[in-house]
Every structure is written in structure tokens, then in C-alpha cells.
């Protein structure tokens, strides 16, 4: 959200408030986050190491901090490996399935389409995969795909989706711990958890 007034109203009433995953940098509140930057960097570096060179990014709204951090990881990984940044291959969108399909079709219809796509999350990656299959594009031979979040469906879709795993159970546990502590001893704490790349068939060319 771009409007945080409702959260400010909660804070004015001194109600304990903890953000996790999607946070509001405008507010001084405790938060539990994952290392979105490192996860994105590792995902794109993996694609480069697999031989992909024209890597697109279907990104979330610029207003979201997670989108900006994952974008930075994407850009820095390209830069590290000497790959050019092509703005034609970077699309920010509103995270709806319909728009994911529209933009996936757009990217795959380019005169020089990407040979890999790093998606902001797993639902986006799966929509890309479905569009690619409908166009007869072979995954991962002609298109590598990597998501972010490791949703349960990512392991059972065909081919299984390479993705960045978020430790969601631990995120919830830490958020609950901090919330309980806020009741006794209010303080600002940022707790960052590492991500882990789960490599599956959507990005590995055998």
C-alpha cells in the first residue's frame, strides 16, 4: 500500500504492531524480513551459470520494498557477470494472474525474446510457464524460469520450478515472538532471515 495512515492510527493507540515479509519502511516498527536482495541475486546468478544470457525480470510494483530489493539483486547479478541490462526485459506489474499472462506473452513475442525469466514470485513464474507451454516453448531448453517463495505447487508442476525458498514458518515464529515481547518491552527490532535457492527442472539444462 502507498497509504500507511491506518497503520499510524494503530501506532498512536499504542497497539503492538509487527510487520513481516511486506514491510512499511515509512514506519518505525518491528519487522521480520528475508534477504530479498541476496535471494534474487542468487537466483539470477544461477541462471547465468546455467548458460542463460538474455534474462528478463517480471517484477512487482515499484512501491513495494521487496520488489525494489529483488530488482537490485537482479541488476547486480547481471552486472557482476558482464551482462547488459535491457529495459525491454524488465516489467513491473500489479501481481495479478491476468497481467502476468499478458506480460509473459509480450516478453515471449519480442523479436529477441528472453532465454530466461526471473519472476517476482512463484504464482508469476507458474503463469509464465503456462504461457510458454501454450506457445510450444521447451522448458528449460529454450526458456529457463525461476520464481521466489517456494510455494507447494512449485514442486509438483511439470517441470518442477526452481525457486527461492522463504523460511515462512520461522518468519511467523519470530513475528509472534516479537509481538509478545512488544507487550512487555516495546522496542524496534528488525529480524532478517536468509533465503535458500531450491534448484529444480525449470532452470537446469541437462
Query: Which pLDDT tens digit goes with each residue over 98-139?
Result: 999 999 999 999 999 999 999 999 999 999 999 999 999 999
Q: What local confidence, expressed as pLDDT, does residue 10 receive?
A: 45
Looking at the domain assignment, is residue 192 inside a domain? no
Q: What local confidence, expressed as pLDDT, does residue 11 receive?
A: 46
The range of the structural domain enclosing residue 94 comes to 36-166
Closest CA to 41 of 118, 95, 128, 129: 118
Q: Determine contact, residues 27/8, Cβ cutoff 8 Å.
A: yes
Looking at the domain assignment, is residue 60 inside a domain? yes
Looking at the domain assignment, is residue 52 inside a domain? yes
pTM, two decimal places:
0.85
Q: What local confidence, expressed as pLDDT, does residue 188 receive?
A: 65
Q: What local confidence, expressed as pLDDT, does residue 17 receive?
A: 57
Closest CA to 118 of 82, 90, 137: 90
Looking at the domain assignment, is residue 194 inside a domain? no
Number of domains forming the structure of the chain: 1
Q: What local confidence, expressed as pLDDT, does residue 16 receive?
A: 52
Q: What local confidence, expressed as pLDDT, does residue 22 receive?
A: 60
Looking at the domain assignment, is residue 48 inside a domain? yes
Looking at the domain assignment, is residue 98 inside a domain? yes
Looking at the domain assignment, is residue 136 inside a domain? yes
Q: Kindly report the CATH number assigned to the domain that includes residue 73.
A: 3.40.50.2300
| Residue ranges, the chain, pLDDT below 70 | 1-30, 186-189
Q: In the chain, how long is the greatest CA-to-CA distance? A: 60
Looking at the domain assignment, is residue 67 inside a domain? yes
Amino acid at each position: 500500500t502507498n497509504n500507511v495512515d491506518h497503520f499510524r492510527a494503530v501506532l498512536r493507540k499504542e497497539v503492538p504492531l509487527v510487520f513481516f515479509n511486506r514491510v512499511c519502511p515509512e514506519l518505525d516498527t518491528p519487522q521480520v524480513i528475508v534477504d530479498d536482495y541476496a535471494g534474487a541475486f542468487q537466483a539470477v546468478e544461477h541462471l547465468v551459470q546455467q548458460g542463460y544470457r538474455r534474462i528478463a525480470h517480471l517484477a512487482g510494483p515499484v512501491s513495494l520494498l521487496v520488489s525494489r530489493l529483488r530488482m537490485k539483486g537482479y541488476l547486480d547479478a547481471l552486472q557482476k557477470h558482464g551482462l547488459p541490462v535491457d529495459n525491454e526485459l524488465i516489467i513491473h506489474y500489479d501481481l495479478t494472474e491476468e497481467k502476468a499472462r499478458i506480460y509473459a506473452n509480450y516478453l515471449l513475442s519480442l523479436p529477441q525474446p528472453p532465454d530466461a525469466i526471473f519472476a517476482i514470485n512463484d504464482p508469476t513464474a507458474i503463469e509464465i510457464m503456462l504461457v510458454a507451454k501454450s506457445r510450444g516453448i521447451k522448458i528449460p531448453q529454450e526458456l529457463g524460469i525461476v520464481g521466489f517463495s517456494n510455494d507447494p505447487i512449485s514442486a509438483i508442476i511439470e517441470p518442477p520450478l526452481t525457486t527461492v525458498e522463504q523460511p515462512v514458518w520461522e518468519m511467523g515464529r519470530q513475528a509472534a515472538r516479537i509481538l509478545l515481547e512488544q507487550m512487555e518491552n516495546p522496542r524496534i527490532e528488525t529480524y532478517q532471515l536468509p533465503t535458500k535457492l531450491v534448484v529444480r527442472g525449470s532452470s537446469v539444462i541437462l
